[in-house]
Structure 1
Amino acid sequence: MKATTTGEKADITLTSSASLSTQGGKLAGYTNYSYYKKSGSDQIVSAKSTLNRSLLSKYNYTKSQRTNVATHEIGHALRLSHSPSKSSVMYASDRYASIDHQDKVALDNAYNN
């Protein structure tokens, strides 16, 4: 991964929105994908992760908790799924968890196997 400079198109972006509402209801963050259709499988070509500023403020998320939500959404952008472990940053509904060993293993498995 590398940061883009002004004018370059990023494959993964992280932004925030005043509010964010999806079919599943109000969310702290959400990641949307663009796909390249190939026979047999679809390939993610870009992802946009968005944080919901109004919800993060309404529930008094700390800077650390906002970072955890952003990390969780970037994890989705990198093709990681939700984890059943509450200690994982990829746990579905926890603002308190940060990256742990199993998240590193999941990322390694996604890209090195």
Structure 2
Amino acid sequence: MFERTKLLLPLAALLLASANSYAQDSGPAIQLAQMGGAMHAAAEVCGDYSQTQLDEMKKQQKSSIQSMGLNDEDFDKAFEQGLDRGRQDLQKATAEQRNQMCEQLRSGPKF
């Protein structure tokens, strides 16, 4: 899972660039949960994963990030922030930008 995350960090940075202000004061676990939410939004747009697969990936992310000391409630809140922001950013993106992002997602390893 972390290998995929490493490959997709540039994409997540793009999705969360405009959300920088709310993430500045948060710790790395919160930021990772937000990034997971943004990646979830991207995966929804690209349509390469079923809802079951997306739910499983979120569950795995939650478990991994909890080992950093983040509780369920804080993970869910941060994930939803990232998901909402990712969806907003993707709505503003051009079709070409969305296609490029989807190609980047597809070039990474599959679960």
Give the TM-score of the pair, scaled to structure 2: 0.31
Q: Name whichever structure is richer in helix by fraction.
A: 2
Structure number with greater Rg is 1
Q: TM-score, normalized by length of structure 1?
A: 0.31
